Amino acid sequence: MQDNTLRQSLKQRHITMIALGGVIGAGLFVGSGAIIATAGPAAILSYLIGGVIVTLVMFMLGEMASRNPDSGSFSTYASSYLGEWAGFAVGWLYWFKSMMTITVEAILLGAILHDFLPWLPVWGGALFMLVTLIASNAYSVRSFGEAEYWLSFAKVATIIVFMALGASILLGFQPRIPAPGLVNLTDHGGFMPNGVSPVLAGVMVVIFSLGGSEIAAVAAGESENPSRNVIRAIKSVIVRVMVFYVGSVSILILCMPWTDKVNLKSPYVSLFGMAGFTGAAVAMKIVLFVSFMSVMNSFLFSNSRMLFSLSQRGHAPAMFGRTNAKGVPMNALVLCLAICVSILGIHFVSGGDLFLMLAKSSGAFVMIVWIFIIVAHFAMRRQTKHEQRDPTAFRAWFYPVSNWVALLALVAVLGSQAFNPDSRFQFWFTVLTALAIVAAYFLRRRQPSFGQAAGAKGR
């Protein structure tokens, strides 16, 4: 008989690598150049500020996850500490956001395959990668973990090689490139040549790039020792942000002037090329392919687990709360495949302008999810303040100051979109979607069967 439960099949090494490689993608390899080109050397501050916000939020998530590791993660915690409406809203918001991310990654993968195999149309490559990675997820939880382990390993290895190369340039060990010293921090208009505004705009891009940090908490729920593994995964956020993002971006800024717009279009390729690696462009395209695969693979996993959790709590049809003999929520994966194929069809038939505009909203959805995490952590601390806590238990740093700092920063960044003509549509689309999902919960509550279904799932 099928017990419709998830399996704790992931090992510590899987969770660690999912955490380390979960946010390393195009946002770092390509997007960093755009931030540097507008903010100048002060782009380092954009990454520091964004990194601090992400670290604080993930530590709050880590404290809640260590108390109750669950595949529904932040959606479950929102339900527990804020009410069922909050869990419903944040769960469906995240599911909707991850569906857009999966489809975008499929399109990007299809484009790279088309570059290498011109006879293969972009839509064909996108469909092939979507089916391949869903098959990997469907086979077993362990197959997902192994695939993500090696994909993340390749990304981490690339960053390490890049940072070693950058350090050798700065120390004068590369005969092709004179050691630049610190001149690129102060020349060409100074450290902050264009003022504070581009730095703050850069923070928004950094937060968008770091969306996905929360996946480690979802995956830890299916590991051998969830409470311990989720803490290790969350703590690695500091390593990810400060070393891979702040560290590698600092090397870029020190090695090339921010006014070099041409090289900053693809900064990592440019630096490898400057050091004499003639195949840098092809190699980096392969790394980007791996990065897109990794992001898509991770979001397929978290998307299906979120829908499974919503179903288990009575917030989605019961069929999506079922698993196969290997503990995989197959119905949730099949729905993901059907919707993504439909979106791909609309995208390629219509030319994709509308869909790509909607896809840019994914960062705003992430920020709303993080705001829910912060508020849920506030509520959790208040509701448990009289409990006798284990002194060795993990606790988020600097509560409640950290909560207020992160909350105000996210609200400011999200609100700034409303005043920027380039992001105003995404802002209102996100706000209206969130309000529609909340309204759907309260409309559904009026149905006589709602309370019975939710109660049955909760038992």
Mean pLDDT of 5-23: 63
Beta bridge partners of 223: 10
pLDDT band at 394 (very low <50, low <70, confident <90, very high): confident
For residue 125, CA distances in Å to 112, 265, 289, 323 come to 8, 25, 12, 29
Alpha-carbon span 417 to 457, nearest angstrom: 39
Alpha-carbon span 221 to 236, nearest angstrom: 17
Q: Is a pLDDT exceeding 50 seen at residue 1?
A: no
306 close to 365: Cβ distance less than 8 angstroms: no
| Token pair of 115 as six digits | 């570059």
Mean pLDDT of 15-29: 65
Q: Is a pLDDT exceeding 70 seen at residue 451?
A: no
DSSP conformation letters of 205-228: HHHHHTTTTTHHHHHHTTBSSHHH
| Token pair of 318 as six digits | 């019961």
pLDDT at 135: 85
Cα–chain center distance at 452: 35
pLDDT band at 308 (very low <50, low <70, confident <90, very high): confident
With vertex at residue 351, the alpha carbon angle to CA 350 and CA 355, rounded to the nearest 5 degrees, is 80
Where helices occur in 117-196 by DSSP H, the ranges are 122-139, 141-170, 183-186
Alpha-carbon span 220 to 234, nearest angstrom: 10
Which amino acid belongs to residue 14? H
Specify the range with the lowest mean pLDDT, choosing from 218-232, 266-280, 415-429: 218-232
Place of tokens 């190369």: 165
Instruction: Specify the DSSP class assigned to residue 315.
Output: S
78 close to 101: Cβ distance less than 8 angstroms: no
Find, among 369, 353, 30, 57, the residue nearest to 205 by Cα: 30
Q: Is a pLDDT exceeding 50 seen at residue 456?
A: no
Instruction: Select the highest-mean-pLDDT range: 34-38, 113-117, 191-195.
Output: 113-117
Query: Judging by beta carbons within 10 Å of its beta carbon (0-12, 13-18, 19+), is residue 91 exposed, middle or buried?
Result: buried
Mean pLDDT of 370-381: 91
Average pLDDT, the chain: 78
Instruction: Select the highest-mean-pLDDT range: 102-116, 277-291, 378-392.
Output: 102-116
**What long-range pairs does 390-396 form, CB within 8 A, spacing at least 24?**
393/66, 393/67, 394/62, 394/63, 394/66, 394/231, 395/63, 396/56, 396/59, 396/60, 396/62, 396/63
Q: Is a pLDDT exceeding 50 seen at residue 450?
A: no
302 close to 98: Cβ distance less than 8 angstroms: yes
Q: Is a pLDDT exceeding 50 seen at residue 227?
A: yes
Q: Is a pLDDT exceeding 90 seen at residue 404?
A: yes
Tens-digit pLDDT profile for residues 114-173:
888 899 998 899 899 888 888 887 776 677 777 777 777 787 788 788 788 888 888 877
Residue 174 neighbours by CB distance under 10 Å: 17
Alpha-carbon span 43 to 435, nearest angstrom: 34
Alpha-carbon span 32 to 48, nearest angstrom: 13
* pTM recorded for the entire structure: 0.84
Alpha-carbon span 63 to 402, nearest angstrom: 13
